[in-house]
Structure 1
Amino acid sequence: MAAHPAPTCMRPLKLISFLRASGPGVLLCLLVSGLAICLEAAETYLLGKAWLESLNLALLLGVLIRVIKTPGPIWTGGIRLCARPLLNVAIVCLGASFSLHAVFCAGPTLLLGVMGIVLFSVVFTLLIGRAMGLPTHQLLLVACGNAICGNSAIMAAAPVIGAKEEDIGTTIAFTAAGGLVVVLGLPLLAPALLGSPNAQGVLAGLTVYAVPQVVAAAAPFGQTALHVGTLVKLMRVLMLGPVCLALAVFCAKPTQTRQATTHGASIPRLVPWYIAGFAAMMTARSCNLVPDAALTPLSTTATCLTTMAMAALGLSVELRSVLHAGRPLALSVFFSLLGLVGASLILVRLLFGA
């Protein structure tokens, strides 16, 4: 017997039920995000630039709130909504920020070099983390975060491999600390090892996580270094789609893989919808199908939703689990960053002879 659709009058009731279940947690994440943005603005005003971005501040504030008082059941629905579904929407919006045209204009040599560094960093981190005894989920998250773009890569890869909120938050906390060290140390290290602004900008783009951090690290080297560093960072971010797709294929369960190969309709399930959306949005931007007027709202939406997701992750992280995971994870992040910086220096010297 055919199932009858739900009566129209039931839809408002479902909406009200959804708002009651998710509203408090979403509002909490929104308040934490707003406070993080205000703290970043205060940093910029008092110190001249923000050493900790609102993304990382939201995570830290969320962890602090959970230490003071663990959120009860009334908050959990909204926190979960911000931690996963809203983050996936942010990743799709992020695709509009990237144009393949700018990447191809830089030439194939630099693009192949960036791809090689990302591949090396992923493989090197996997070897180091395995030697340190790091659990598989955290190992894959560290590899993606250090190789590509820190927080965003970790949060994009997490649903693909089925990582828990605790693993995500713990990994982000350690990689964020390592990334901050790179941002602070690069302006001191690069002038002693590299002579040209182009070389210094490429090194910043290859080793620093987020675009604002690249700006902070490359700005002391001049405007040329700033532009080159941002472009190289863009090339690294473009690797997010292929890496997540590879993780989806290799981390798929055997039964799921068999179904995908025997039933054509099941193949798209191997590709997370938000990665497909990211690629579609990026392609649309490259084909000039996204109007310029929409770029700023899409970028702002992506930033706000990602900040809310970071707050949600912080509210989900048990501090004791972070401390328990400390030594293997810290060593893995440290040696992974060391390998990334070393390989990037070699590449820059090969490209620029400086």
Structure 2
Amino acid sequence: MVARLVPGLALAAAGGGFALLLHATVPALSPTLVAILLGMLLAARGGAASSMRPGLRVASRQVLRVGVALLGLQLVLPEIVALGWPVLLVAAAVVVLGISGTLALARPLGVPPEQALLVACGFSICGAAAVGAVEGVRRSREEDVATVVSLVVVCGSAVMLALPLGAVALGFTPAAAGAWAGASIHEVGQVVVAGGLVGGLALQVAVAVKLARVLMLAPVLAVISYRSRRAAGVRPPLVPAFVVAFLACAVVGAALPAPVLGAATVVQSGALAMAMFALGCSLDVGTLRRTGAPLLILAAAATGLVALLGLPAALLVG
């Protein structure tokens, strides 16, 4: 059984490793985004051999959960608390209102509830990692997960480039621009790029605000798991094990020695890169081309909604 997983896991490790190497060469490139693009490129060229699929499936599910759990180590709680309660409330409001608003918009558009939930959480919390985490609770279709993650790449990258220009046009200070970026942009990597483009204090503030949104991942997943239990009439764990591990990492992260924390961060980046590559491989490019207008409109609307909800963070900091 284990031998069947080796080819696919090795392919995912190679793809994720290449993405990390490219990120080390060009730090502005997010390894998770590079990894899924590489996987999508492989899918476009005919996809992986059937012998690879069992291992790729494990990488896109179990390995992804390891990456999400270790993501908690990035949450430096004192720095997040130092933002002040008004900014933290805005970050929480972005997540809560972003999810509820996106789900409300999905109904008249006719987007299926499962796809709508993936968009709502991915765009409102932390991009691809949130999409994968919701899949871990809901057991969503791989095709839906890969499609929504690809929309995270497209929409998040667009706002990553547009938001710094908008902040300059509005006359925001670097700190205010960073707060807006952290409260509005989908992926952590995209937030880092946007903060770096603005310069000054923008990067530090952007990452702190973004991680405040990431911290909301655990309670959101707990709510989704509870609602899924009631709807399905089954009794899976109320809080999945990887969510408990995420919270534990957030608590102990600041107390870990720097070498241990550094090594764990490398494992976390590698696990997410592997998982994103595997998800990219699972995407049928024809399916992406056939992505209906309602889902595309919802993705664009969710991006605009989250950017609008994040604007008060800039006003508070500025």
Q: TM-score, normalised by structure 1?
A: 0.84
The CA deviation string for residues 151-183 of structure 1, in whole angstroms up to 9 with x for no partner, is 111111112122111111000111210000011
Among residues 226, 237, 247, which one is paired with 1:249 in the alignment? Answer: 226
* Greater Rg by CA: 1
SS at match of 1:275: helix
**Which residue in the other structure is 1:298 paired with?**
264
Among residues 270, 274, 294, which one is paired with 2:242 in the alignment? Answer: 274
Among residues 213, 219, 240, which one is paired with 1:236 in the alignment? Answer: 213
Among residues 75, 84, 96, which one is paired with 2:61 in the alignment? Answer: 84
For 2:284 and 2:77, the matched residues in 1 are separated by 40
Q: CA deviation at 1:236?
A: 0.7
CA change 1:161–1:127 in 2 (3 A) is same
Are residues 1:25 and 2:8 paired? yes
Matched-pair contact (CA < 8 Å) for 2:184–2:309 = no
For 2:233 and 2:74, the matched residues in 1 are separated by 33
**Which residue in the other structure is 2:35 paired with?**
58
Are residues 1:75 and 2:52 paired? yes
**Which residue in the other structure is 2:277 paired with?**
311
For 1:111 and 1:314, the matched residues in 2 are separated by 33
For 2:172 and 2:283, the matched residues in 1 are separated by 43
One-letter amino acid matched to 1:329: L
SS at match of 1:293: helix
Q: CA deviation at 1:61?
A: 2.0
Among residues 287, 296, 302, which one is paired with 1:330 in the alignment? Answer: 296
CA change 1:195–1:77 in 2 (3 A) is closer
Q: CA deviation at 1:315?
A: 1.4
* Matched-pair identity in %: 31
Matched-pair contact (CA < 8 Å) for 1:174–1:329 = no
For 1:39 and 1:300, the matched residues in 2 are separated by 14
SS at match of 2:186: coil
For 1:317 and 1:216, the matched residues in 2 are separated by 26
For 2:171 and 2:24, the matched residues in 1 are separated by 32
For 1:63 and 1:210, the matched residues in 2 are separated by 18
One-letter amino acid matched to 2:110: G
For 1:313 and 1:246, the matched residues in 2 are separated by 25
**Which residue in the other structure is 1:109 paired with?**
86
The gaps in structure 1 that reach 5 residues or longer are 1-16, 260-265
SS at match of 1:342: helix
CA change 1:29–1:191 in 2 (3 A) is same
For 2:136 and 2:223, the matched residues in 1 are separated by 13
**Which residue in the other structure is 2:183 paired with?**
206
For 1:255 and 1:58, the matched residues in 2 are separated by 34
CA change 1:219–1:254 in 2 (3 A) is closer
For 1:227 and 1:66, the matched residues in 2 are separated by 37
For 1:255 and 1:186, the matched residues in 2 are separated by 41
**Which residue in the other structure is 2:119 paired with?**
142
For 1:154 and 1:235, the matched residues in 2 are separated by 17
Q: CA deviation at 1:223?
A: 2.4
SS at match of 1:270: coil
Q: CA RMSD in A?
A: 2.0
Q: CA deviation at 1:109?
A: 1.5
**Which residue in the other structure is 2:305 paired with?**
339
For 2:17 and 2:257, the matched residues in 1 are separated by 28
SS at match of 2:201: helix
Counterparts of residues 97-246 of structure 1 (less than 5 Å) = 97-246=74-223
One-letter amino acid matched to 2:43: R
Q: TM-score, normalised by structure 2?
A: 0.93
Q: CA deviation at 1:238?
A: 0.4
For 1:96 and 1:33, the matched residues in 2 are separated by 20
For 1:281 and 1:343, the matched residues in 2 are separated by 28
Matched-pair contact (CA < 8 Å) for 1:194–1:200 = no
The gaps in structure 2 that reach 5 residues or longer are none
Larger CA deviation: 202-211 vs 216-225? 216-225
CA change 1:347–1:94 in 2 (3 A) is closer
